[in-house]
Amino acid sequence: MTTLPRGVRLGVDVGQVRVGVALSDPDGILATPLVTLPRDLKTDNEAVPADISEIARLVELHQVVTVVVGLPVTLAGTHGPAATQAKAYARRLGAAITPVPVDLVDERMSTVVASRRLAERGVRGRRQRAVVDQAAAVEILQSWLDGQRRRTG
C-alpha cells in the first residue's frame, strides 16, 4: 500500500456561526481537533474575514500542504444553498492561502456523526456545542485522508 506524500492537512467545517478546524499528522493518518473559530460574516468584499485570516495563519504555522473544506451535499446528492456558501468560503480561503490547494469533500452527515460520537463519550449540551464543529472537521478530514489512502493504495 502506497502512503500519502508527507505533509500536514487541515480540515474545515464551515457553519453559519462557527468554523471547526482539525489537523492531521504529517503522515496523513489521523485527524485531530484543533480549534473552533467564530464565523466572521463581513459583507465588505475587500476585507478578509477574521476566521479566514486565522485559518491562513494556522496554515502557515503548521506548514499545511492541503486544506479540506466540507461540502454539505444534500442526502439526495444535490448542492443546495449551504453547498453554495461552502464553495464561496473555499474560494475565499483559497485566495488567502495561495499556493496551498483547497479541496472540497462531501461532508454529508459529518455533524450528525460527530454529535453522536461526542454523546457516546458523555459530552452533551453546552459542552457539545462548543466542540461539535471541531469534531465535524475531524470527520471531514479523516474521511478525506482515508479516501486518499485508498486511492494511492
**β strands within 30-127, DSSP E:** 31-38, 64-71, 102-106
Burial (CB count <10 Å: 0-12, 13-18, 19+), residue 76 = exposed
Please report the domains of the chain, with CATH numbers, ordered by start residue.
8-152 (3.30.420.140)
From first to last of its 153 residues, what are the pLDDT tens digits of the chain?
A: 456 789 999 999 998 899 999 999 999 999 999 999 999 987 667 789 999 999 999 999 999 999 999 998 877 777 888 899 999 999 999 999 999 999 999 886 566 666 677 667 776 666 656 677 888 899 999 999 998 888 876
CA distance 94 to 114: 26
pTM to 2 decimal places: 0.86
Q: What is the largest CA-CA distance in the chain?
A: 47
Cell numbers for 116, please give them: 453522536
